[in-house]
Amino acid sequence: MPVLTTDRLRLDELTDADLDDVAAMVADPAVMRFYPAPLDRTGAQRLIDRNRARYTELGFGLWAVRTHAGEFVGDCGLTMQHVDGRDEVEVGYHLRTAAQGHGYAAEAARACVQHAHQRGIERVVAIVDHENLSSQRVALRAGLLLESVLDHGGRSTHLYATTVEGPGPDE
Ligand SMILES: CC(C)(COP(=O)(O)OP(=O)(O)OC[C@H]1O[C@@H](n2cnc3c(N)ncnc32)[C@H](O)[C@@H]1OP(=O)(O)O)[C@@H](O)C(=O)NCCC(=O)NCCS
């Protein structure tokens, strides 16, 4: 049973059977442009293992995204991230280069945000490098709004959120 389905996509828990697809995606420097470096096969296996641990601990993680015809598109899902001094639920997405440009990331991300809301998680964020314009568009199309621009890991980063919080009373 998939975790989520959309008009064109299904999202399933990652398994070891996804290793070839995940390894090919994360070895691509274009996909990993906003990460420290592409990952080798061991890194891809770790990514799968980390998400399997998240399913157990949190009930969510990054899920494998496929078309209904079974073509591997990438991953998308929910993770916990520490940003701007607080723990947040982030919607994340990574698409094979060949699967980009079809709106799949926004379609999958919207479903993940709705899934979070159904689980009682009101606030979902996306932490996006200021140069990652396609990801910024995906965040907007998934229903998030730009909340702030901050330093995250030494990079100027846009924080998008479903519930945007204004400055506090002292700010
Ligand atoms: C981010 C990512 C998932 C988007 O994939 P996608 O769904 O194929 O996105 P698209 O190519 O359809 O582009 C999404 C939007 O950005 C726009 N866009 C793409 N490249 C752009 C650019 N260089 N400048 C401005 N806008 C751009 C597209 O026109 C589209 O706009 P629209 O929604 O108004 O039509 C994909 O690029 C990816 O996997 N990147 C690598 C991993 C990554 O960076 N993940 C996000 C980490 S925060």
CATH number at 107 reads 3.40.630.30
Beta bridge partners of 3: none
CA of 87 to the centre of ligand 1 (A): 25
For 32-97, give the secondary structure using H, E and C.
CCCCCCCCCHHHHHHHHHHHHHHHHHHCCCEEEEEECCCCEEEEEEEEEEEECCEEEEEEEEEECH
Predicted local confidence at residue 36, as pLDDT: 94
Tell whether 98 is covered by a domain: yes
- Our answer on whether the CB atom of 8 is closer than 6 Å to any ligand 1 atom is no
Predicted confidence at residue 169, as pLDDT, reads 57
Instruction: Give the number of the atom of ligand 1 that is nearest the alpha carbon of residue 127.
Output: 48
pLDDT of residue 165: 77
167 within some domain: no
Please tell me the distance from the alpha carbon of residue 76 to that of residue 94, in angstroms, as a whole number.
6
Q: Is residue 17 part of a domain?
A: yes
pTM to 2 decimals? 0.93
**What is the residue range of 25's domain?**
4-161
Ligand 1 centroid distance, CA of 168 (Å): 32
> Of 134, 136, 137, 159, which is best to mutate to test ligand 1, by the most ligand atoms within 8 angstroms of its C-beta?
134
**DSSP tag of 21:** H
- Asked if the structure places residue 168 within a domain, the reply is no
- Confirm whether 170 is domain-assigned: no
Q: Whose CA is nearest to atom 41 of ligand 1?
A: 31
Inside any domain, residue 156? yes
Q: What is the pLDDT, as a whole number, of residue 38?
A: 98
Local mean pLDDT, 10-residue blocks, the chain (171 residues): 97 98 98 97 98 98 98 98 96 98 98 97 97 98 97 94 74 49
**Domain total for the chain?**
1
Nearest atom (ligand 1) to Cα of 102: 12
